[in-house]
Amino acid sequence: MEGAARVFAGDFSRSAYCMPGVERPSSTYMLTPGGAWCNRVFVAGALTEVTDHGSLIRSRLADPTGAFTLEIVRDGRTGLPGLFEKVSVPSFLAITGAARLTKGNGTCSAIIRPESVQIVDRTVRDRWILKTADCTLGRAGALAAALKGDEAAPAI
């Protein structure tokens, strides 16, 4: 099983490209402007909004850079819709989910389809911010090295 990318909402929400995987071409990955390849993501933040659209629940999870859009489908396979109906706003959540890019009317929207949700506290959210900042700096360094012509990973 492949790990989930840590990415900030500001970077994730500006994504506009999907690419086939390098090692697994059958997988589709979102490419963020900051250089993250996202098939699955691990995010944490404050739940700021939950809206019921019948067969779909749409929510927003905020971090210091912006907000992630979460879409939870009522398909009866998970208890996630019930969790989002019961959790109070605001609450801190940690979420692992599938990264998706939806295109329509000439625009792109980056969304997360949650697979696992945990109610957490501020300390967990703050640690996620620090670790995600470290991951972001690592990606920025790799992109800078590639632009200078240094050896780079094939994905870059």
Letter for the amino acid at 46? A
According to the model, what pLDDT value does residue 1 have?
47
Burial class, 98, CB count within 10 angstroms (exposed 0-12 / middle 13-18 / buried 19+): middle
Chain segment 132-149, per-residue pLDDT in tens: 999 999 998 888 888 887
Chain segment 97-130, per-residue pLDDT in tens: 999 988 777 777 899 999 999 999 999 999 999 9
